Amino acid sequence: MTATAVRGHAISFRGDPFLVADALIDIEDALILTEDGIITAFGPWVQFRDRVPDGVDVVHYPDAILCAGFVDTHVHYVQTAIIGAFGAQLIDWLNSYTFKAEQRFADRAHAQAAATVFFDALLANGTTTALAFAAMYPQSVDAFFEESLRRGTRMIGGKVLMDRNAPEPLLDSPQTGYDDSKALIAKWHGRGRNQYAITPRFAPTSSPKQLELAGTLWRESPGTYVHTHVSENLNEISWVRELFPERSGYLDVYDHYGLLGPRTVLAHGVHLTDAERRRVFDAGAAIAHCPTSNLFLGSGLFALGAAKDPAAPLHVGFGTDIGAGTTFSLLTTMNEAYKVAALNSYRLDAVKSFYLATLGGATALALDDKIGSLAVGKEADFIVLDTKATPLLEYRTAHTDSVEELLFVLSIMGDDRAVAATYIAGTPAYLRHAAR
């Protein structure tokens, strides 16, 4: 038996704070006890300290917040090298930067090196689970999952499907896309903590036949995901209308080909109509809200208030959308999400932000039975946030009067420097001071 005991001020969630008032669990002096990668006890230190096994040292973080690991519901690991590329709108950005960068993943050594950098960045930012695009090359998927297997992380990813409107080296065909994806599912889905996502980039780069076969593959592959983009940019929406004039809208393209349902994760959804949001709700699909990317490319302001309308609340998680997104940090993502919401006349408090980054993201990925909170029985992926990470943060947090205010300060001022430790399956996978 491998056991870990961690003590400190901990927060977790028992529900969705967009919908219920008592969703936050706040324990000022808590114990997290894990055995063989699973949380076996979580609660007040004074009540649970006698459960620490003999010989197990208690790691105490007195100036920190402990919480479940962050969940990134939309990221492109193959775009790590183009973060911060000078802006353009979506289609121009794809042609100028993305497609060029992804062609380098034909080289297996390049893919392996990129995967190492990507996982290092995730863990240094407190992200323990991500839903990631690879490139169209199967070896790019292999590199991603091999790195995940080596680190013991719970990750979801898949090969991009594109058979038109992209450079020739990045194109597959409907049949080769289906065959490659089917082989990768057999190889990786359920191996370790890895899961597979069928990944058409977005409707404009897949023909009707490719989307049809993607839907067929999903029906044949229980437990897998669909990961794609929707309604990110107004010009993109117009392009979809030209390419699929027979469909009622962008979302309807995916719906028509059987790609909408539970375990479908749609990145962005900035310009979804009320009717489309209702269809996402009815289908049980999820939206990945990517504020840094939407701001960087000028795509628009996601209507979080409408998405979480109690009458038809969508599953929503945060996505960094690296590389159009500008940071791996979900703390920084919270900062930008607050501003986007404010510009839409919606005030996003920190309890809701931390929910979206943890249990909300896990729920969006249909993994809330495994990750996303510190509940007993869940996988022991959690992080330690240092409230004194910088002199200014230490000064500011000393002047907070509630956990809600403390979390808000972390969500506005925090970044990777605030992540003191990241635990994967109960074992430290990143320690800030050791990394330095």
- Listed residue (323, 296, 407) closest to 357, CA to CA: 407
Give 41-45's long-range contacts (Cβ < 8 A, gap of 24+). 41/376, 42/10, 42/12, 42/374, 42/375, 42/376, 45/7
Task: Give SS3 for 68.
Answer: strand
The CATH number of 70-328 is 3.20.20.140
Q: Are 151 and 119 in contact (CB under 8 A)?
A: yes
Cα separation of 108 and 368, whole Å? 34
User: What pLDDT sits at residue 1?
Assistant: 66
What tokens does 198 get?
């069928």
Rg of the Cα trace of the chain? 21
pLDDT of residue 94: 85
Domain boundaries, the chain: 3-69+373-435, 70-328
What string of pLDDT tens digits covers the 436 residues of the chain?
689 999 999 999 999 999 999 999 999 999 999 999 999 999 999 999 999 999 999 999 999 999 999 999 999 999 999 999 886 777 887 888 899 999 999 999 999 999 999 999 999 999 999 999 999 999 999 999 999 999 999 999 999 999 999 999 999 999 999 999 999 999 999 999 999 999 999 999 999 999 999 999 999 999 999 999 999 999 999 999 999 999 999 999 999 999 999 999 999 999 999 999 999 999 999 999 999 999 999 999 999 999 999 999 999 999 999 999 999 999 999 999 999 999 999 999 999 999 999 999 999 999 999 999 999 999 999 999 999 999 999 999 999 999 999 999 999 999 999 999 999 999 999 999 865 4
420 neighbors 429 (Cβ within 8 angstroms):
no
pTM of the model: 0.97
Residues 6 or more apart in contact with residue 136 via CB below 8 angstroms: 102, 159, 160, 161, 162, 170, 171, 172, 177
Q: Which helix (H) or strand (E) holds 213?
A: helix 208-220
Q: Residue 412's pLDDT is what? A: 98
Going 288 to 269 to 141 to 364, the CA torsion angle's sign is positive
pLDDT confidence of residue 436: 45
Domain boundaries 3-69+373-435, corresponding CATH code: 2.30.40.10
